[in-house]
Amino acid sequence: MKILKDPRLYVVITCLTLIWSINQYLRTTEQIIGLQLELERIEAQKDSLREELFINKIDVGRYELTIDHLKEYDPKAYKEFDRFLSHETE
């Protein structure tokens, strides 16, 4: 058991452990950076979709106001519109 008393063994084990630890740290850091980039991409896409949804909600609101106005101004045209929307566009 002379090898266990040799300090070079402990130096080699320490160096190998240190190299392994640094490798694990670098690998984890790369994964974190990749996840951060993915998160930024998803957040940008979410913001873009939110803007598109806002624009579409404004358009839908305009159509609803127009239909309400049509209902009051020309009930016959509104009934024809409603019939067409309910039966002809499916």
pLDDT tens per residue across span 28-60? 999 999 999 999 999 999 999 999 999 999 999
The answer to whether the beta carbons of residues 68 and 74 sit under 8 Å apart is no
Question: Going by C-beta distance under 8 Å and a sequence separation of 6 or more, which residues neighbour residue 17?
Answer: none
Q: Cα separation of 35 and 47, whole Å? A: 18
Q: What type of residue sits at position 67?
A: I
Domain around 36: 3-88
Q: Is the pTM of this model over 0.85?
A: no
Stretch 15-35: mean pLDDT, rounded?
A: 96
Question: Going by C-beta distance under 8 Å and a sequence separation of 6 or more, which residues neighbour residue 70?
Answer: 77, 78, 81
Q: Cα separation of 10 and 78, whole Å? A: 89
Stretch 8-30: mean pLDDT, rounded?
A: 94
Domain total of the chain? 1
